[in-house]
Structure 1
Amino acid sequence: MDTKVVHIGNKVIGGGNPILIQSMCNTKTQDVAATVAQIHELEKAGCDIIRVACPDMDAAKAIGEIKKQISIPLVADIHFDYRLAIAAIENGADKIRINPGNIGSTDRIKAVVDAAKAKNVPIRVGVNSGSLEKDLVEKYGGVTAEGLVESALDKVKIIEDLGYDNLVISIKSSNVMMCVKAHELIADKTSHPLHVGITEAGTLRAGNIKSAAGLAMILSQGIGDTIRVSLTGAPVEEIKTAKLILRTLGLRQGGIEVVSCPTCGRTQIDLIGLANKVETMVEEFSDLNIKVAVMGCVVNGPGEAKEADLGVAGGIGEGLLIKHGEIIRKLPENQLLEALRDELINWPRN
């Protein structure tokens, strides 16, 4: 479902534009060198929009220097102190993330809105299940999807009543089904773009599974304009997962899809090791939109690999290199990875 278009720096979300991927730095924002280095790593991995914490005035002022050294839009994450939001905007933040409920009085919220309006900086209104207002918890008998939606729309109305509607909404919960229901409810009640994610999803394994399940249910309904996979791990892992979720759902093209078979007693090569090495190796070929198969034996391997653009099927300490369904070479196991890489280097580009 189409939402309003919002410009975030040199990027655009909403209005049916492609879903963009976000992450958040885990560096100290005032450490400009470390923050810029991490942003460059994330940008290379496919991050479209980056957020940084803004807990104090040093962090807010560092935004100006960071902005000079990066090319993707930067979002300042503000809690409690309205002066930090204003300072972040003045120092060039492309968007600010606030919860008006913890900014304070209407006058303070108005000061932030006026600063954003002066530079046409979008405001992301963020509401999390962990900080839902007590009156809404009491009204709905606990933390619920309905309460999250009401809270978010109340906050949005505060800013709209101040004459500003350049907004993005995020409603997040670590409860997957609550998060899904909340997005289904709010999608019918607003035209503002939605930033989607399962917050505090967990470690790499748990977080990937919860994020994939929740985002799939939400995005497959046409809900969502930008996403973040929240993981307790290196931020670059969030980008890898987000790209794979979008690709799996058919919402983004580009990059190599690696398929590999489960191991069994027929496997005569180190399939697990090879598949992991291939998955890492193909990340440098983001300009290719093809499928690479890594199969463990000669029973199903050649047939499965034929369905991919390029693949290998293992034998006894060796393997077959298969391209467009045809076996082109038989190689020792220790040469398979480099052979795949050579094929990708020489793969025709459009």
Structure 2
Amino acid sequence: MKKMEIQRRKTKKIYIGSVPIGGDAPLTVQSMTKTRTSDADATISQINDLYQSGCQIVRVGVSDHASAAVLKRIVKASPLPIVADIHFSYRLALAALEAGVHGVRINPGNIGSKENIRKIVQAALARGVPIRIGVNAGSLEKDLLEKYGRPTPEALVESALREVRTLEDLGFYDIEISVKASSVLETVEANRLLASRTEYPLHLGVTEAGSGLAGIIKSAVGIGTLLIEGIGDTIRVSLTGDPVEEVTVAREILKSLGLLKEGINIISCPTCARCQVDLLSIVQEFSERTRDVKSLLDVAIMGCVVNGPGEAREAEMGVALGRTNGLFFQKGEEKGRIPLAKLLDLLVEEVRKADREKQLAETHKT
């Protein structure tokens, strides 16, 4: 029986460097550096860390001329497409485009006059660089705040579509849009409204989500709700802390919904009195030993005699663990009862074998 799949909303396709966004392109994961951009060495180092973690597009803040001055070096050294995040100064946007960035993000609430936007558009058109219209609840235009009383979902969408019209009037259509709030409910509703009124690709995120578990939960609920509804083309999890964690969480959100076709999706039980092994240690060791696996594989590691065999049978491969041995399953078939001391090594070996086979099959396709 075929697994359920999310039916994604059809959108226009744009490119950030060589990475496609929207249309029939896979969902992508973005993050943002948290170094001072003017410190080129630190920024490049963090970009490399993000690349290794699976990030596909990276945004850098360009808040002063010192940052703009080193952008060309950063772009040249980066393994990822660079998006310049611009506020207040159209001149910094022009400098970023001159430096060779692959995308520009502007906020209509603070970039200035339409003439300033025209200058950005002309430079972006000349270089074939897309523009992301980024609307945040914390920096909405004054007239919209007066009209709606606060940054409501309707206000965020009106702001975004106002800017879309400005760009379209200037003959610019390589547009990506984001509407974000720190409220999960308002972020979800704003994106629903926007998705019903435009075919441009949408960048999803819950802004200022916070740190640790609270930030992860807000992001997973907000982004996940929209993705389930087929809304969204690229995502960024905004957490206070290491941006690599943002990428890790974003990839797990996509994997949980079957929207990321790589890496291992581990199915493991929460444990209870029936569990007779240290399941947490086993799962952690398995995760470490298979971190470099590229193929999408569902792997069940279960310590429960009630649900264990069933979950392991449904996964591509899995184990149901007892006190001294466990059942090993592969593609729905029970392969035997294996001593516990050998079972993890066997599981890792078979996962790596399946990964090699899938990678080889993909190579032959191309």
Task: Please say whether Structure 1 and Structure 2 have the same fold, judged by a TM-score greater than 0.5.
Answer: yes
Describe the SS at the equivalent of 2:60.
strand
SS in 1 for 2:151: coil
Q: Does 1:38 align with 2:50?
A: no
Q: Is the 8 A contact 2:35 2:43 kept in 1?
A: yes
Cα distance 1:317–1:59, how it changes in 2: closer, same or farther (>3 A)? Answer: farther
Equivalence for 2:330 = 323
- 1:123 and 2:131 correspond: yes
Does 1:92 pair with 2:100? yes
Aligned to 2:71: 63
More off after superposition, 134-143 vs 191-200: 134-143
Aligned to 2:348: 341
State which of 272, 290, 296 in structure 2 corresponds to 1:289: 296
Aligned equivalents of 1:112, 1:51: Cα separation in 2: 18
The equivalent residue for 1:27 is 35
AA in 1 matched with 2:338: K
Unaligned runs of 5+ residues in structure 2 are 1-8, 362-366
Note if contact 1:149-1:185 (Cα within 8 Å) is conserved in structure 2.
yes
Corresponding pairs, count: 348
Asked if structure 2 preserves the Cα contact closer than 8 Å seen for 1:177 and 1:214, the reply is yes
CA RMSD in angstroms, aligned pairs only? 2.1
Gaps of 5+ in 1: none
CA–CA separation in structure 2 for the residues paired with 1:214 and 1:62? 35
The 5 A counterparts of 1:124-273 are: 124-273=132-281
Does structure 2 retain, via aligned residues, the 8 Å contact 1:41–1:236? yes
Deviation at 1:200, TM superposition (A): 1.4
Using the TM superposition, name which of 207-216 and 260-269 deviates more.
Answer: 207-216
The amino acid of 1:112's aligned partner reads I
Identity %: 50
For 1:149 and 1:272, locate their aligned partners in 2 and report how far apart those are by CA, in whole Å: 44
Assess if the C-alpha contact under 8 Å between 1:101 and 1:155 holds in 2. Answer: no
My pick for the range that moved more, 273-282 or 41-50, is 273-282
Mapped partners of 2:108, 2:181: distance in 1: 18
After alignment, is 312-321 or 217-226 more displaced?
Answer: 312-321
Once the two structures are superposed, residues 210-264 of structure 1 have per-residue CA deviations (whole angstroms, 9 ceiling, x without a partner) of 2222122222232222111112232222222222222332333222110001111
The offset of 1:10, in angstroms, is 0.7
Post-superposition shift, 1:21? 1.4
Superimposed CA distance per residue, residues 260-285 of structure 1 (whole angstroms, 9 cap, x where no aligned partner): 01111122211122223333433210
Return the letter of the residue paired with 1:109: I
* CA separation of 1:299 and 1:18: change in aligned 2, threshold 3 A: closer
Please tell me whether the aligned partners of residues 322 and 329 of structure 1 are also in contact (alpha carbons under 8 angstroms): no
Q: Which amino acid aligns with 1:44?
A: Q
Cα displacement (A) at 1:317: 5.4
Shift of 1:329: 5.3
Aligned counterpart, 2:6: none
Contact 1:269–1:318, Cα closer than 8 Å, also in 2: no
- In 1, Cα distance between the equivalents of 2:177 and 2:352? 42
Residue deviations 1:9-44, cap 9 Å, x none? Answer: 111212232222111112222333332232223223
Tell me the alpha carbon deviations over residues 290-349 of structure 1, each in whole angstroms, 9 at most, x when there is no partner: 21111114454334322222223332255444434324452345x554443222233333
Partner SS for 1:96: strand
Deviations 1:45-94 (A, max 9, x none): 32221111111222223221122223321101111122111111100100
Partner of 1:310: 317
Distance 1:179 1:84 in 2: 29
Is this contact kept in 1: 2:108–2:135, CA < 8 A?
A: no
Distance in 2 between residues matched to 1:303 and 1:107, nearest whole Å: 63
Higher mean Cα deviation, 270-279 or 223-232?
A: 270-279
Q: Structure 2: how far apart are the matches of 1:290 and 1:107?
A: 51
For 1:102, the equivalent position in structure 2 comes to 110
- Kindly provide the amino acid, as one letter, of the partner of residue 11 in structure 1: V
Where does residue 53 of structure 1 map in the other structure? 61
Change (3 A) 1:169 1:58: same
CA contact (8 A) 1:5 1:15 kept: yes
